[in-house]
Structure 1
């Protein structure tokens, strides 16, 4: 039995994640929107330990109003796991509008195209 090869899918997912990273770096949600399903969600935990999030539009609104372009921002795709038409990815970002994040994305391959259907995140404490 041969093992599946996901090289093409890995690269396609990296391209999707890089749209997200670039949109955050430029503080422009129009760059990242194509990476997400219209039904995507985002959730995290506030500094007070409370669940926050909902529809992905909340991320876009925050990027466009509260973030600033951050040419110093650095991101790394720490992991991509793929199984058929489902995948997950971990991204670590430093110095994006003064914040550091770890993001976890769930993606699905729909009509031959990878798209983010959910994002959860952790905001790291400022040094």
Structure 2
């Protein structure tokens, strides 16, 4: 198996754990400091830099603290070259089921998320 694939999977495990535990120290290990976060699901642009996104995560109750069932899933990983990839993943936080498009670059010997663009749906119980 392509070692790059396993490296991305390892980075995604940190990503999923960071979201589940609302742990920005973990997330900082996988997001590039200049990464962007964007969503247009509700008809307007939600946009953050890491400087504005991490405080949102820090203020949010952790799904782990509410004993939420994890719904982490890697849908696909595609490579655009030796140091560029995109991962499509699913996860859930509270009443929202997310599909994340995560663009990775390999810098300083590790894969880092440069852009998180996502869509969410409300779970049937929340709708």
Q: Which runs of 4+ in 1 moved over 6 A?
A: none
TM-score normalised to structure 2 length: 0.85
Deviations 1:59-107 (A, max 9, x none): 322221123233412200110011221100011113x233211101111
Please report how far the alpha carbon of residue 46 of structure 1 lies from its aligned counterpart in structure 2 after TM superposition: 4.7
| Aligned ranges 1:24-43 → 2 under 5 Å | 24-43=19-38
The total of aligned residue pairs comes to 120
Contact 1:92 1:102 in 2 (8 A): yes
Say what the alpha-carbon RMSD is for the aligned residues.
Answer: 1.6
Unpaired segments ≥5 residues, structure 2 = none
CA distance in 2, matches of 1:123, 1:56: 20
| Aligned ranges 1:43-122 → 2 under 5 Å | 43-47=38-42, 49-70=43-64, 71=67, 72-82=69-79, 83-94=81-92, 96-122=93-119
Aligned partner of 1:18 in structure 2 is: 13
Please report how far the alpha carbon of residue 126 of structure 1 lies from its aligned counterpart in structure 2 after TM superposition: 3.0
Unpaired segments ≥5 residues, structure 1 = 1-5
